[in-house]
Structures are given as C-alpha cells and as structure tokens.
Chain A
Amino acid sequence: MIISIASGKGGTGKTTIATNLAVALKQKVQLLDCDVEEPNAHLFLNPVIEKKETVNAPVPGIDLSKCSFCRKCMDICRFGAIAVLKKDVMVFDNLCHSCGGCFEVCSENAVVEKEQSLGWIEHGSVNQISFIHGRMDIGQVMVPPIIKKVRSFTDPDQITIIDAPPGTSCPVIAAMNKADFVILVTEPTPFGLHDLKLAFEAVKLLDIPCGLVINRAGVGNDDVNTYAKKEDLPILMEIPFDKRIAQIYSNGQMIADTLPGYKEKFQALFLTIELLVEKTGVR
C-alpha cells in the first residue's frame, strides 16, 4: 500500500506525519522522501546510508562533424533547448526535458545522447524502515524525473510512505499519482485552508481516496474543520498546537518517540487509513 503525504502549503507538518507514522508502525515500511528540492526526513530518522547513486537524464550532444545544420532538432524542441547557428549548435541542458525528439528527427546521426546529472538518490535503513530519498542538484530544475526515480524503488510487498513536496504542480502530482491513499496535512489558519483547498482539488483530479490531518490544532480558527465537514473530507487526526511539540520538532526528534500516547495515535492513524482504503478497494 502506498500512502502519500501532501499539503498545498509548506511547513504544515508533512515530514512530521511521514516520519512519525513510519517509526510507529510495527511492520516493515519504506519511507520515500520525494521532496527532492528540500528533503528533510533523514534529519529525523537518521538512517544509515548504504548506497548512493546519481540520477541522470539524457540531453543532446551535437557531433558537429556530422551535422548538416538542417535545424530539424531545433524545430522539434518545444523547450528552446537547442539553437542551430550557421556553423555551430548550442544546447542548453537546463532547458532540456529529455523528450528525445532531437534524437529521433536527426537524419545525420549527429545528435548523440549525453547524460546530465539532475541529482542523486540515497538508500539507507533504520530499524524496520527502509529509507530512500532524492536530492536535486543546486541550480537544477527537473524535479519529476528524480521523484519518479525514487518511486521506482517502491516495494509492493511493503507499506510505502511518501513524503511529498509542497504545492499543487507537477512535482506534487509526481509524488501522489497512483498512490492508494493521500494524507493531506494542514494547519487551521487562512493560509492553511486556502492551500488545502488547492491540494484537495489535485487529489480529486487524481481520484485517490484521502483524509486530513490537522496540525497545530487550536492555533487559528475552525474554518478548516467546517470545510472538511462540508467536503466530506475525513479528519484522521489532530495534533494540538503546543510549543513543546514545536521544540521537539526543531531538534529533529519525533513525538512518537518522546511524547506518551503518540506512537499509539499514529498506529491508529494507520488502521483508519487501512479501513478507508479497503472501503474504496485496493487498486
């Protein structure tokens, strides 16, 4: 079963829920940190890293000795990554989406595949958790291929928890698509509510069953609860606003380990999710 943890707004507690849920479970579990721009789950889990690999994407390299400067590669590229000049061809790796169009159209075999590094992936483990995260190189922009690579290690025989990036655009979709369940995490403030609505729209678009965790309950107002009721969005758990919890988080510790009762709360959260997924039928 794949559980993706998402939120429109950043800093609402996605990583808190993902890591605490992982440590609270008794069974074997995978945690995939798909916030490859700013991965944080490792700071809480401290996994022993066992393997590291780079994530590459094919980009075109031009063999000028074969090039006839016909411009077909430039014409098919919709991302402006190739500029054919009179006697030279410029390739902008950063703009390339690795669609392969230029390789297909070149009749002179002058376009050769070259690897561009997008980032890297680390595999590790801690207790019963196998941990994988992606990390994008500074200055890179291609997020979804790294997320897809992290997700390619999904083990169907285990519970897989995905820590998604914030927002509602392509990176988040890549981290939620084809999950069995999405936990939306929000805080009960106007910003939290506004971004929750957007995230909920995205989940509906993907047609995945979902539920809500309200973090820092009590900090703002009741509008999030009212919205959840109206939209039939089940509230799975509420974590109260408590400076102690904020301090535990700030030090990279977990509430399931440090505050009494929380391990059980996260176990109950998982059971609720299992029931909800069963009700909708596992894909």
Chain B
Amino acid sequence: MKELVVLSGKGGTGKTSITAAFASLTQNTIFCDADVDAADLHLILTPDVKESNEFLGGHEAIIDPERCTLCGRCIEVCRFDAVKSDFRIDPIECEGCGVCVDLCPEQAIEFPVTICGQWYKSDTRFGPMVHARLGIAQENSGKLVSLVRQEAKKTAEKKGLDFILTDGPPGIGCPVIASIGQATAVLIVAEPTLSGLHDMERVGQLCKHFNISAMVCINKYDLNLDLTKEIETLAREHQIECVGKISFDQIFTESMIQKETIFEYNKDSQAIIEVMQIWENIHCQPVFNRLSFIDLHLRGLG
C-alpha cells in the first residue's frame, strides 16, 4: 500500500484542486481528506456518504453549582485560566486536561466526553473516500486526522485498493504532522511568491525532520519566473525533487464551480498536460513502485 500526501505549508496554493485532478488519473485508489478543519475535496469529488460517525475527541469540564463550595482550588490549578471568578468554566479556554476534575475536593466537576466532529465513509465516482468535519473551535484536529487516515487504510485493505491519496491541511503543526506519519511520500504544492517560497521551505524541513520523502510541484509558475527558479534551487538544496510546474490557469476555478476535476471539465489547456506530466513523474520516483502505474488510464478524457 502506498500513500501520497499533498501538502503546501501556505494555504491556497492549490492542494485540493491538484488532488482532485489526480483523482481523474489514478486507479484502485481511496481518497482521504485530512484537512479536517476546512475540508474542501468533497466539493469536487461530491461523495455519497455511506456511513457517518461521531468523533469523540475530548472532554469538557463543567462545574456542578449544587456541589461546588467555591473553595477556589480549580481556579488555582487551572493553567489555562478557564475557570472564571463566578465558577463557570469557559469552554473556549478549557484544554480538557481534567486537572480541576481530579483535584476538586468536593468532586463537583463533571467531565463529559464531547463530540468534536463527524467523520464519514463515502463513495465517489473515482472510488471510496474517507473524510471528516471537525466541529467549530474544537481541539484534537491531529487525532481526527490520524483517525481518517487509519480508516482510509482499513477500507483500502478491505477493498483491495493499493493507493491512498491524501489531501493534507495547511501549516506545519499538529494536523500536518498527523497527516504525514508513515506516508510513502509528500507532494508539496508551492507557488512562486515570497510567502510560498518561505512556507515551502518550512514544510520541506518538517518532512525531513520526520524522515518522509518529499517532492515539490510549482503551481502558477508563470506568475513569477524568478521566484519559480528560486523554488527549484531551494528544492535542490533540500534534496526535494521538483516533479513539475503548472501554468496560471483559470481552468481550476472554472472546473471547481462545475464540481468537476480539470480533466472532466475537459477544456483545452496547458495545465491539463502539465498535471498529467506531474502525475507520471511522481510515480517515476524511487519510493513508488512504478510498474503498477505505468499505464495512465484517463477517466473523463474519453
């Protein structure tokens, strides 16, 4: 089983659009949306949800005023300033550590499990998909990312699929780290802007830190050719293979509005050829077994 995780560091460089485009090119694949904070892949893959599950991510401390003697021990032990002077716990500030629960001399603090989100097993026109929705302002996004990836792997094993294509979250924090553990490789989608260059370097360092093989592709490369060159140089310095470049093309937005991949939208475009080339280059990387992917079957290109 191979897994490719698409990351970017900086948001909005085209992770999801490119992941969706790959959906048209890959076979025998399960799709996994690991951006549980602001998931978008479903807007193109339009999954038919087969199974919906609650994500029980954590606990929330609640003081029972009946039993509370206002002793103030909870205020004293809480390091997150979540217990207010009127002995109410602010759910936004509460970290769910339960220290107040354990140390309350009156055992006046309840600690119910909270539903932090939902996760789904679905079918799409490209194959099965596992995705999730973290509740607003919830914690434990890393835990939910790990869960959707595990479930994707389980489903893949059960259905005999040999490839997991994972759309990752932005940044380099907890959910990103959860999305790359044990992955075969990471594809970093960079853009030729100063921010894009800076953020791509950080996500590259993160992959190195966790010893995950990384590749880079440059989206909208013709926006700034100088910075494109700089990204290529930087990638070389970090031993990150540059697997291709994609032109600045309106086709990504146009096809997104139609809820289609760029291949389904099927308008004559340079970007289509470039994305195909990138997909091929990815599978020529030593970390992937190229034999099983040499035959690129283009669904939707009819």
Contacts and interface: CB of A to CB of B under 8 A. Distances in A.
A133 interface: no
A274 to B, nearest CB: 26
A267 interface: no
A136 B171 CA distance: 10
A227 interface: no
A12 interface: yes
A104 B103 contact: yes
A43 B102 contact: no
Contact of A189 (B13, B138, B175, B256): B256
Nearest to B226: A251
A105 B104 CA distance: 12
Interface in B27-85: 37-38, 40, 43, 59, 77, 79-80
B194 interface: yes
Interface stretch (A60-68, A95-103, A153-161, A256-264): A95-103
Interface in A152-193: 165-171, 173, 177, 187, 189-191
B99 interface: yes
A78 B205 CA distance: 30
Nearest to B220: A246
Interface residues of A, number: 59
Interface stretch (B119-127, B149-157, B195-203): B195-203
Contacts of A8: 37-38
A143 B173 contact: yes
Interface string A71-115: 000001011000000000000000001111100110000000000
Interface residues of B, number: 62
Contacts of A136: 172-173
B77 A104 contact: yes
A160 B59 CA distance: 33
A70 to B, nearest CB: 14
B102 A105 contact: yes
B193 A250 contact: yes
Interface string B134-166: 101111011000000000000000000000000
Contacts of A171: 173
Contacts of B169: 167
Given A98-B79, A177-B92, A252-B194, A166 B11 contact: yes
Given A168-B37, A173-B137, 4 more contacts: A139-B206, A141-B142, A206-B137, A252-B195
27 contacts: A10-B12, A10-B170, A11-B10, A37-B171, A37-B173, A37-B176, A38-B171, A38-B198, A97-B95, A99-B80, A99-B97, A104-B99, A136-B172, A141-B142, A167-B37, A167-B38, A169-B37, A169-B141, A191-B43, A191-B256, A194-B38, A205-B92, A220-B253, A221-B257, A247-B223, A249-B193, A251-B194
